Amino acid sequence: MNTATRSTALALLALPLAALAASSASLYDFTVHSLDGKSVPLKSYQGKVALVVNTASQCGFTPQYEGLEKLYENYQKRGLVILGFPSNDFGGQEPGSSAEIQQFCSTKFHVTFPMFEKVTVKMGAGQAPVYKFLSSNGDIPSWNFGKYLVNKQGKVVGFFGSTTKPEDPKLTEAIEAALK
């Protein structure tokens, strides 16, 4: 096999992998589990704009829970839902059980937006399917509190890293645009 043929063969093998990552047409095709272990079809949020955030309770960015809750309170009636996915991927900063995470979020930050069971967001064999979908365009959280903005059709329309605070005008402008 010559170099050109080998390159073409490798490219063709990569196509199914890319297609697999993007095979779900929408965030709303997935079913996840809430912190209390209940199965939650994300299609229950279809038609809403979602801000999907990988969270952690012992991180320097943890105070963003307060801003996320304010965003949720301000935009919920207009169709925004915030979906929190705890992850222990970065610095082991989410070591708690689901019950401990729920307790922490509700008592410390009065979180009322939906929170789900701990997931793996990093690429690899253990990456949660929902995060395979979210990161299929190449935007992958490099730390806790990475934020994916998903439109009403379930497509990712923006990614905001950990240092982007919930009140950042770039994020709120993107939310406003997605809600129109």
State the catalytic residue, choosing from 21, 59, 140, 157.
Answer: 59
Give the integer Cα–Cα distance in Å for 41 and 95.
Answer: 25
Rounded to 5 degrees, φ, ψ at 116 are -120, 170
105 is catalytic: no
Helix, strand and coil percent figures for the chain, each rounded to 5: 40, 20, 45
- ∠ CA 89-90-92 to the nearest 5 degrees? 80
10 Å Cβ neighbour count for 153?
A: 13
Q: Which residue has the tokens 């949020």?
A: 45
Question: How many alpha carbons lie under 13 Å from residue 102 in its C-beta half-sphere?
Answer: 10
User: Are 85 and 116 contacting, i.e. CB atoms less than 8 angstroms apart?
Assistant: yes
The full 3-state SS of 108-132, as one line of letters, equals: HCCCCCCEECCCCCCCCCCCCHHHH
Q: Which residues are annotated as catalytic? A: 59
